[in-house]
Amino acid sequence: MKRLVLALDVYERERALEIARETSDYLWAIKVNWPLILGAGLDVIKELKETANVPLIADLKLADIPNTNRLIAGKVFEAGADYVIVHGFTGRDSVNAVKELGEVIIVVEMSHPGAEEFIQPVADGLIKLANDVRPFGVIAPATRPERISYIRSKLRDGIKILTPGVGAQGGSAKKALEAGADYVIVGRSIYESKNPREKARKFHEELMGAI
């Protein structure tokens, strides 16, 4: 089973497709965020799926009223995304508006230092929301493995934990998995390396060894 998600945060379509082609053997999924969508357009989602043949996560971190979330998510699912990432703090009606259209992943806690200011203090409420809404998965920080363990201990069985913050942000892939994550999201450590395929292979092997 593969547990690595590539965060493909480059601007250029060609570069994105090349990295996807090189690394796809080791990936469970590819995550696209605003940089690539703004740089290459929404059609890059379908092209990446055809090139890498893996699920596509659209990480737009939607945080709007239900109607606007629905309008945005509709376009993104139509473009071929398999999962759309939404913020939970806007409330369950906004999250459900996206879930009615396809699979969602809810942000429960983020990986950067500033996440301790506002998001971490309300994580319990966001976990409860996730347990009620039953998304495919939630986001938890690899930079704080103890928080992954905490979130896992409160989360309903079957909801996956995806964790960013490995490598460039200082987190460890192995520790994140041992703490209870299901999938590890890695960006710069792979796409900025001289040999993205080799880097992805190393992360894949580290993750396989951690199970």
Annotated binding site for substrate: 9, 31, 59-68, 111, 164-174, 187-188
In the complex with ligand O7E, the residue whose CB is nearer, 15 or 188, is 188
Beta strand 56-62 pairing with 83-87: parallel
- Distance, in Å, from the CA atom of 98 to the CA atom of 63, rounded to the nearest integer, reads 11
Secondary structure of residue 87 in the 3-state scheme: strand
* Shortest separation between residue 34's beta carbon and ligand O7E, angstroms: 8
Going residue by residue from 90 to 119, which x/- string records binding to ligand O7E, judged by CB under 6 A?
A: -----------------x--xx--------
- Of 92, 128, 175, 188, the residue at the interface with ligand O7E (CB under 6 A) is 188
Report which of 211, 204, 175, 209 is spatially closest to residue 189, judged by C-alpha positions: 204
Please report, as residue ranges, which positions from 119 to 178 form the binding site for ligand O7E (by CB under 6 A). 139, 141, 164-165, 167-169
List 61, 128, 175, 202, catalytic entry = 61
- Distance, in Å, from the CA atom of 211 to the CA atom of 163, rounded to the nearest integer, reads 16
Known active-site residue 160: no
* Shortest separation between residue 105's beta carbon and ligand O7E, angstroms: 6
Report which of 84, 87, 82 is spatially closest to residue 72, judged by C-alpha positions: 84
